[in-house]
Amino acid sequence: MSYRPLDTRSVRPPAEDAEDHRTVDWWGLIFLIVVILAFFSSVMFSFFFLRFNAEQWPPASIERPTLLLPTIATLTLLASCLPLIWMQRVLGKGERPRFNVGLGLNTGLSVAFLAILIVSLSMLDFGATTNAYGSAFIVTVGFLVVLAIAGLYVGAIVQARAWKGHFNGPRHVAVTSLSTYWYVLTAMWMVVYVSLYLLPYIE
Partner 1 sequence: MATVSEQTVSERLDRLYGNPPGFAGWLSAVNHRQVGARLIVTAFIFFLLGGIESVLMRTQLAQANLDVLSPEAYNQFFTMHGTTMMFLFAVPMVEGLGAYLVPLMLGARDMPYPRLNAFGYWCFLFGGIFLYSSFLFGMAPDGGWFAYVPLTGPVHSPGLNMDFWLLGISFVEISAIIAAIEIIVAVIKTRAPGMSANRIPLFVWGELVTALMIVVAFPALLAGSVFLELDRKIGTHFYNALEGGSSLLWQHLFWIFGHPEVYIIFLPAAGIVSMIIPTFAQRPVVGYTLVALSTVAIGFMSFGVWVHHMYAMGIPFLSLAFFASASIMIAIPSGVQIFAWIATIWTGRSVFKTPFLWILGFFVIFVLGGLTGVMVAVVPFDLQVHDTYFIVAHFHYVLIGGMVFPMFGGFYYWFPKLTGKLLGEGLGKLNFWTFFVGFNLTFFPMHITGLLGMPRRVYTYQRGLGWEVLNLLSTVGSYILALSVAIFLWNVFASLRSGTPAGPNPWNAGTLEWATDSPPKNYNFLEIPTVSGRYPLWEEQDIYSGEDIDARANAYLVQPHHLHRATQGTTPLYAETDGIIRLPQPSMLPLLLGFGIAVVFGSILVNLIVPAVLGAIWSLVIITIWLWPHEGDFVE
Positions touching partner 1 (CB under 8 A) are 1-8, 10-16, 18, 21-24, 27-28, 31-32, 34-35, 38-39, 41-43, 45-46, 49-50, 53-54, 59, 128-129, 131-136, 138-139, 153-154, 157, 161, 166
Nearer to partner 1, 59 or 104 (CB): 59
Min separation Cβ 98 and partner 1, Å = 22
Min separation Cβ 176 and partner 1, Å = 15
- Please tell me the distance from the alpha carbon of residue 141 to that of residue 186, in angstroms, as a whole number: 13
Nearer to partner 1, 8 or 68 (CB): 8
Nearer to partner 1, 51 or 98 (CB): 51
Q: Is residue 61 packed enough to be buried (19+ CB in 10 Å), middle (13-18) or exposed (0-12)?
A: exposed
Helix or strand run (H / E) with residue 35:
helix 24-53
Nearer to partner 1, 35 or 202 (CB): 35
- Please tell me the distance from the alpha carbon of residue 70 to that of residue 57, in angstroms, as a whole number: 19
Min separation Cβ 46 and partner 1, Å = 6
| Number of other residues whose CB lies within 10 A of the CB of residue 160 | 10
| Number of other residues whose CB lies within 10 A of the CB of residue 179 | 19
**DSSP symbol at 55:** S
Nearer to partner 1, 73 or 178 (CB): 178
Min separation Cβ 29 and partner 1, Å = 10
Min separation Cβ 151 and partner 1, Å = 13
Helix or strand run (H / E) with residue 186:
helix 173-192
